[in-house]
Structure 1
Amino acid sequence: MTPYEHYEVEDFMQDEFFIEWVLHPSENSNAFWSGWLMHNPDRQPVLERARAIVSSITVKPVARELADTEVRSIIDHVRLNGFKTEQPVPTIKISRTGWFQAAAVILICFTAALLIYRQVNVKHVLSQTNNEYIQVSNQSNQSKLVRMNDGSLAVLHPASVLRYPSRFNGSSRNVYLSGEAFFEVHKNPRKPFLVHSQNMITRVLGTSFTVRAFKNENAFKVIVNTGKVMVYADKQQAHKINAKSVMLLPNQEVTFDHNQIVLKKDTLQTPLLLSKEVATHKFTFNNAPLSQIIARLNEAYAIHIVYDQERLGNQTLTASLSDLPLDEKVKLICKAINAQCSFDGGQIKILNP
């Protein structure tokens, strides 16, 4: 499915289905975009700006062809004046037989409109351009912790790569995964969190889940620990109002066959360690030794927490950690035993007090 909810004005202006709807609306396209706006009201301003720019470019038939000199004059005019936002995009008159010239003129006009839009929105464009992406590649034999600027965490498994922006600008938080990772997403209802993994997209607001999507595997998988997750394939037909997607709840998984583009949903026979009904019991400790607590965390998150077991392993702790994300669990443990913690280099370390 085409992820229109992530589109900016420039993306809409390059989308054939969107342009066809603006210039030649039909009953089906009107129904699609009306339904899309109902589900994505926050994207209406972006869509309307793109629609206005596309609508401003018109072609009117007349009784003669454009001469080569006239086409050259139009091109020169755009080159000289295309950056001036006070000048409107020109309306060009051509004959129906002069379609070669028409194609060239329309291309120039679209370019001019795009340049004008970029000038008007220069601050927005610069903020997006300057937002660097961070790429974390895990070539080790142990999982690696990744902490993002919004407070979300990812436990990146071996042979996996995660790419994410240094700052989550815009109306959504987009990350790109090749391989396998466990995510604990900081809740933000106004900014959905989307994991793009090969041909599959996983959308959440704030929850914990695992995505497995290696390029050399025929099937990808999403498993939910807590919260709700929406999974859909971006190769599905993009212009169906009710395009198929799968909603997952805790202890459910979906398998995506990317060759046949089929999503299969199942319920896990054994509840996950981090699911609420299990975590409430498994992560409530009463005078438990630190070695037991660390072992439980290592098992649940598929990580390896570094600590001095000889010196700290027998210290005891009474606490409920079930509702806390991983980094907060570790911080609370360290506070209780008067130790320091470190999250540098993709590792979690508990330092001796």
Structure 2
Amino acid sequence: MNKRSLTTLIKKFLNNRSTQEENEFLKAYDDAFENEPVPQLSESQETRLENEIFQRITSQIRHDREEKVIRHIQFRTLLMAASVVLALGIGWLFYSKWNSILNIVSPVEYTELQVPAGKLSKITLADGTLVTLNAGSKLKYPNLFRGDIREVQLEGEGYFQVTKRPKQPFIVRTEKLHVQVLGTSFNIRSYRQDALMEVSVVEGKVAVDSNEKGAGRSVLLTPQQKASYTVATGVLEKGICDSADEIAWQNGVLNFRNNSMKEVARVLERKFDITIRLNAAMENCNVYAQIGNEPVDLTLKALTRLMDAKIKKVNDIYHITGAGCTSI
């Protein structure tokens, strides 16, 4: 660059008409002379020095531009990486919250089935699980099973034949118990009025624990085993059972194994949709018997005869009185 060109460039700068590249050149030119003071030189030496400085300035500007390009590329790369991370993050968030999103867009509907006294009810759930409900029972279940678990709520007695889904356990919650399975057949008796609640297994494995903290240990059940939960003490115990007896109620057969007459009366009330009143002496009589599908009057007469008790029906209420009894 000669003096005329440099002068022209300086004039453009002073008139605010120079480009950004020209401004960068002038700044670099000025810096070069500040860092390297020039002595008195001949015109040829001055020209040669100006050319060297010009080359150096041009090289520096080119280097600065390359750095800007690199920074621009790095920024774009960083931006792309951030976009990928953001996309993955959004994807993960979308996946992890998918059920919540679905519940907002298409909420799961629940049905509450209540079986009246004197009746039984059968239902097939959305996953193919078959449920038989005893008289006086209530089941709350969804129209579809969404998420990591399949969960229903039971009050009363139900026999479950659960469809196997290893990645989606089936859970039955009652007021006091929490029962979890993968695919199996089991019976739950958990009426709110009863002092004892039981889970018995026909096939597969069932894990049972209490909903209350510190109420008792968890138990794992296999066929012909049952868990008994005593409401008064909060104790959960494991024992053996005859699973055929436990589910015979589906065919109208009731098996009593040393049950109190108070418990028997409550079961008969649900089965026949009746009301029974016992005097205090009769409540703790132990009953060991099998009751089939005979009419209610014949059933109660047979029981009272064995217990040397009397029965009287007043305004559709059966009154059973006696002095007490031995086991039957």
The two structures have a TM-score, normalised by structure 2, of 0.44
- Larger RCO of the pair (alpha carbons < 8 Å, separation 6+): 1
Q: Looking at CA atoms only, which structure, 1 or 2, has the larger radius of gyration? A: 2
